[in-house]
Structure 1
Amino acid sequence: MVVNESLHHTVQTYLRTLYPDHDPTELAHKVLKVMRLENTHQAPRPHQNHWTEKDCVLISYGDSIIERNRKPLATLLDFVQQHLGNNVSVVHLLPYFPYTSDDGFAVLDYYQVNDSLGDWQDIEAFGNHYRLMSDLVINHCSSRSGWFNNFRQGLSPGKDYFIEIDSDWDLSKVIRPRTNALSQTYRCNDGERQVWCTFSRDQVDFNFANPEVLLEFISIIRFYLDKQTSVFRLDAIAFLWKTPGTNCLNLTNTHRIIRLLRLLIEHANPAAWVITETNIPNRENLSYFGNANEAHGIYNFALPPLLLHTLLSQDCSHLRNWSMSMPPAQNGTFFLNFIASHDGIGLRPVEHIFSATEVDELIETVQQSGGLVSWRNLTQDQVKPYEINVSLFDALARTHHSEDSYQRQRFLCAHTIMLSLEGIPAIYIHSFLGTQNDYDKVQHSNHNRSINRHRWQLSRLQSLLQHKEAHHGDILAQINALISIRRQQSAFHPNATQFTLQLGNHVFGVWRQSIDRKQSIFCVSNVTSKPQRLSLSELNLIETNLWHDLLSQQDLNADNGVINLAPYQSLWLSN
């Protein structure tokens, strides 16, 4: 078949460049056999948007909600169906494999489900009701995995799967996301070896210069596809390829491997998505779109710190300027917009946006709300803030200058802005629930990120959701209401036009227009604790009777051509 010949040729081209010392024809045959694509008759059409305004991602651990005598995955699925329904279309189950540390990101066995969560039937059940998003923890695995045990004993598979550091290598330029030593010593059968560990001693990096490692992960991808995964999150992918003497971040071969994996995944399932997780400065992050041939989606990593800064400083100038500078995603690609996740609020994406003083002020304010800070190495003797660790609800408890009673309004304003932006929204389960800082989990795990990885007892959570004085039920209802409205608006398609409005530093706004140009929505938000006046002339609105606020379900009511915005109030004005 012509399609097979074309696919085989393209795969060979990638492999010839990645592995010049190996036979590309033989390697390509192995790759296509592992992916079961030898006889495929389907090929993906380029620049297709397999997503709409109805898409929204839920991010959750498999055991974020637990109850006695029941598998957590089954409990979670019931909760999602009951309380979120079709307001979410994609469920991102954070690593659900056996692991030894980092809440799942030090994987022991990629082919098993952690039996404390459930089994493969429970995983597939999510895929039967929603799009299932699974993590491909591709940069590293647990130091106690079977593969690394084999490495230490000189056995296959595994003996060539990891990177043994040569003392002559120049590693001075390597960019670090942590403060631990890059080189870790392990006792092996033939003596001590120095092994590359980007993130922790328990997370040993794979050697993708060995094609057998690539083949192993292609096998894992095929297995996950068979288990109902249709969205792949490539974890820590920016660190994948290592070349001594370079910074070992975003290297060309890393991009080549992503293009190859997307090619294979799309041929296996043309509607599948590949999403890259790259917590790096904004310009570098954008490079992972390639020419619409790498990631379908990239995490909008600059958005969480920008929105947090906007609402704590009560000044949207950085958010506005960033929004103006962002290129629209091509058809076939999208931004994944989020403001909270299982990780912290990363500061690397805004290193060239915030001043040192602004970073310090942001950190100080969040620390006053109980937040923590994680650091990374710049040099052997110098560290720099890497991320803020805090639950989003608590992060918005106060502004830079004072405490007030607007925490809930700030929290909902942040989500309203996020839901209005170009791209697909992704909401952490603890944002849906207004979960607060978990200090017990931090103390137990000795891990700052645990502060935002609370585990709810279902009975306790249900009680709070029904309690009128607690904020949890109100937060859940209001975010659900926002998503329900968003799902019905064609102007909120992930690839619909977006223009940033010039409304000063206290009101943030964007104009969205549907792909068919039939619907426009002006999304404006007061980002301060003071009332703000907005002139309709700033929105170029003249015929006020044609406009309707989707959020309040009221026709536009302007007094002398001016809209009065209450503290943290948002409007979605649609025609």
Structure 2
Amino acid sequence: MQPAPLPDPPVPSLLDRLAKHLDILYPQHDCQALASRIVDLFAADQTATTAPPTPRSPTPPLWSQSDCLLLTYGDSVREQDQPPLQTLHAFCEDYVGDAVSAVHILPFFPYSSDDGFAVEDYTQVDPQLGNWSDIQQLGQSYDLMFDLVINHVSSQHRWFKNFQQGREPGATYFHTVNPNADVSTVVRPRTSALLRPTETPTGLQHVWCTFSHDQVDLNFANPDVLLEIIDVIRGYLANGAKILRLDAIGYLWKQLGTSCIHLRETHEAVKLLRTLLDAVAPGTLLITETNVPNNENLTYFGNRNEAHIIYNFSLAPLILHALLSGTATYLQRWMRSMPPAPVGCTYLNFTASHDGIGMRPAEGLLSDEEQSQVVSAVKSFGGLISSRGTADGGERVYELNISFFDALKGTLAGVDAHQVERFLCSQTIALGIEGIPAIYIHSLLATPNDLAGVKETGRNRSINRHRWQYDALKSQLDDPQSTTSIVHAELTRRMRIRAAQPAFHPAATQFTLILDNHFFGFWRQSADRQQSIFAVHNLSNQPQPLSLEDLNLISTDRWWDLIEGTPMPGMYESLTLAPYQCLWITNSRP
């Protein structure tokens, strides 16, 4: 006689699960009471209860091969007498369509500096961009990603103004530090002074500013700050956010005597937000933005209980180096060492964003000499350099400020005639590898360096934050001979090809191919094993012969190149790839 099976253990309630996180963050507080306050924020929306979440059957997939993000500011495209968010919507309808599934609108709130990342009010849309209705209208066509800028607020935010006047909410929301304290161990992404002198009713205080003196860090050691931010999240969800991007999250928690980056409490705060979102808004995705070395970045998957998605920050500098040098050595070495994302997690693959090309993620992957060669090439192509402070008081290159299109004007040897082909190769690599691709609007449009923007703002990052006038942009896009039109047409074509291939599902099997150094290649296979894709890219500015025998194609299958739409020759034959030509060789065309 078989013993009766043991009953499943009871699933902890949302209150208990939140309290477990809060016990780590705030051991001196009544964490059950704090958890109740969090749940109460959502109770009015009837989106959360104290009961365990009801399993959904069947569970909808979080993503598929058809997913691709467009990264853009709300006013990257402007038209006279129209709110920029409405112009952006028109651009997406007219020139993007189903080539992307989601749009990341970079911070669209009232702000005082850093092009939106010094938020004055989380609850409002910058009236110069439009209003919440414009955001929601775009959300009818695409999933939307909102920035959760919570490491800091603008010095013009009402909380900081209250701090300066000794009033709540705000008087206890910011870090104050003795100006003589030893902060030498603190990891910095900038070279500005860490502490900002500020007059208050109790005298001169020195507040913590990781990024700039206009971006004042919040003190998450105060649980009221966490409650405020969770209420911000509630508002974002109500206005259509499907993806939340945790900006600069690695710096969230501070403790003197440590690096103040990636602390245990920071990871626990991310876990808490994941627990909350999974309960109150199932399917909402959490993505962490941590522009740091690769081994540090990977920790934000946690044990499948932190970010659903992490930015693949090492990809951009490695692709740039590979195409400038014409060798896959470092890109291939990194690719072979990258673990598959945990089940239920994935990577966000991008080459360009509103920021520069981060060089910290290349640390340990490219030698100092290789990095110096890239820096020199970028300078010769009109790019600029931003630095960060080091613990010994020195400076190190933090990011390369340049349009990614212009970063590929040539090779380490200088400018050549292959800029368009080289650039399309870079984007094709990012489209094919494991994860979800994200295309910056200025990559989609092959926007060159905006040196006039740098001169106007005095900020290096403005070089890659051009604002197009829509009439001028349409004129370029409608001219089949313009560089903008050529790149846009071919890139969106490849994006749509990708979207139809099960082997390009974010979780599809991936294996790095060992080919001659001027090739970078990998194999993808769909979950049902019905489709294989061999992605091969010529990284050089010379024609290169490729032996199909090196790919070990199954001889009984018929093979096509998806990009050209043509059949491949026999597996024992060779073909020659033009400079920067890419192949997506498949045995199954949906």
Taking structure 2 as the reference length, what is the TM-score of the superposition?
0.95
Q: 2:511·2:522 contact (CA, 8 Å) conserved in 1?
A: yes
CA distance in 2, matches of 1:473, 1:544: 40
CA distance in 2, matches of 1:133, 1:374: 27
Instruction: Report 1:89-488 matches (<5 A).
Output: 89-167=101-179, 169-379=181-391, 381-488=393-500
Q: 2:186·2:391 contact (CA, 8 Å) conserved in 1?
A: no
Deviation per CA, 1:56-87: give whole Å up to 9, x if none: 00000000000011000011011101111111
Deviation per CA, 1:80-122: give whole Å up to 9, x if none: 0111111111100000000000000000000010000000101
Deviation per CA, 1:400-455: give whole Å up to 9, x if none: 01321000000000011111100000000011100011111111111101100000
Deviates more, 1:494-503 or 1:160-169: 160-169
Q: 1:282·1:301 contact (CA, 8 Å) conserved in 2?
A: yes
**Which residue of structure 2 lines up, in the alignment, with residue 42 of structure 1?**
53
CA distance in 1, matches of 2:24, 2:480: 62
SS of equivalent to 2:87: helix
**In the alignment, residue 548 of structure 2 is paired with which amino acid?**
L
CA distance in 2, matches of 1:32, 1:380: 45
Deviation at 1:469, TM superposition (A): 3.4
Query: Percent identity between the aligned chains?
Result: 49
Deviation at 1:193, TM superposition (A): 1.0
**Which residue of structure 2 lines up, in the alignment, with residue 25 of structure 1?**
32
CA distance in 2, matches of 1:402, 1:102: 33
Q: 2:525·2:533 contact (CA, 8 Å) conserved in 1?
A: yes
Deviation per CA, 1:252-306: give whole Å up to 9, x if none: 1100000100111121211110000000000110000011110000000000000
CA distance in 1, matches of 2:573, 2:111: 60
Q: 2:108·2:116 contact (CA, 8 Å) conserved in 1?
A: yes
Structure 1 residue 528 corresponds to structure 2 residue 540 = yes
Deviation per CA, 1:188-211: give whole Å up to 9, x if none: 233211010000010000000000
CA distance in 1, matches of 2:60, 2:338: 21
**Which residue of structure 2 lines up, in the alignment, with residue 561 of structure 1?**
573
**Which residue of structure 2 lines up, in the alignment, with residue 572 of structure 1?**
584
Deviation at 1:316, TM superposition (A): 0.9
SS of equivalent to 2:397: strand
Structure-2 change in CA distance of 1:526 and 1:26 (3 Å): same
Match of 1:505 among 506, 513, 517: 517
Deviation per CA, 1:342-370: give whole Å up to 9, x if none: 00000001111111111111011011110
Deviation at 1:41, TM superposition (A): 6.4
**Which residue of structure 1 lines up, in the alignment, with residue 4 of structure 2?**
none
Structure-2 change in CA distance of 1:78 and 1:3 (3 Å): farther
CA distance in 1, matches of 2:571, 2:233: 58
**In the alignment, residue 53 of structure 1 is paired with which amino acid?**
Q
Structure-2 change in CA distance of 1:255 and 1:48 (3 Å): farther
Deviates more, 1:167-176 or 1:246-255: 167-176
CA distance in 1, matches of 2:115, 2:318: 27
Structure-2 change in CA distance of 1:511 and 1:559 (3 Å): closer
Deviation per CA, 1:499-544: give whole Å up to 9, x if none: 0000021000000000111110000000000111111221012528
Match of 2:14 among 4, 7, 10: 7
Instruction: Report 1:74-85 matches (<5 A).
Output: 74-85=86-97
Unaligned runs of 5+ in 2: 1-8
**In the alignment, residue 463 of structure 1 is paired with which amino acid?**
S
Q: 2:549·2:572 contact (CA, 8 Å) conserved in 1?
A: no
Instruction: Report 1:57-68 matches (<5 A).
Output: 57-68=69-80
Deviation at 1:231, TM superposition (A): 0.3
Number of residues of Structure 1 aligned to a counterpart in Structure 2: 574
Unaligned runs of 5+ in 1: none
